[in-house]
Amino acid sequence: YEVIVVDSSPDDRVASVVNALIPEAPFTLRLLTKKPEGPGPSRNLGAAHARAEFIALMDSDCVATPDWLTGGLAAFDDGVGIVQGRTLPEPDVPTGVFTRYIVVEEENHVYECANIFYRTSAFRDVGGFDAAYDGEADVPVGGEDVELAWRVKRAGWQSRFSAEALVYHEVQPLNMRGWIYIRTLHLWPGLTKRCPELRAAFFARYFFDRHQAWILLALIALVCAWWAPYALTLTIPYAISRGMEPTRALRGPLRLIRVCVYVLRDVTSLAILTVASVRSRCLLL
pLDDT tens-place string over residues 155-183: 999 999 999 999 999 999 999 999 999 99
**pLDDT for the residue numbered 247:** 63
Higher pLDDT, 61 or 96: 61
Over 70: is that where the pLDDT of 24 sits?
A: yes
**pLDDT for the residue numbered 141:** 57
C-alpha pair distances (Å), 62 with each of 8, 114, 169:
17, 7, 4
**pLDDT for the residue numbered 140:** 45
The whole-model pTM stands at 0.88
**pLDDT for the residue numbered 97:** 82
Which of 32-46, 141-155, 189-203, 228-242 holds the top average pLDDT?
189-203
Mean pLDDT on 261-271: 93
Cα 207 from Cα 235, distance rounded (Å):
17
* 59 Cβ neighbours under 8 A, 6+ residues apart: 39, 113, 114, 169
**pLDDT for the residue numbered 252:** 55
Give the pLDDT band (50/70/90) at residue 142.
Answer: confident
Q: How many residues appear in the chain? A: 285
**pLDDT for the residue numbered 137:** 47
**pLDDT for the residue numbered 87:** 97
**pLDDT for the residue numbered 138:** 44
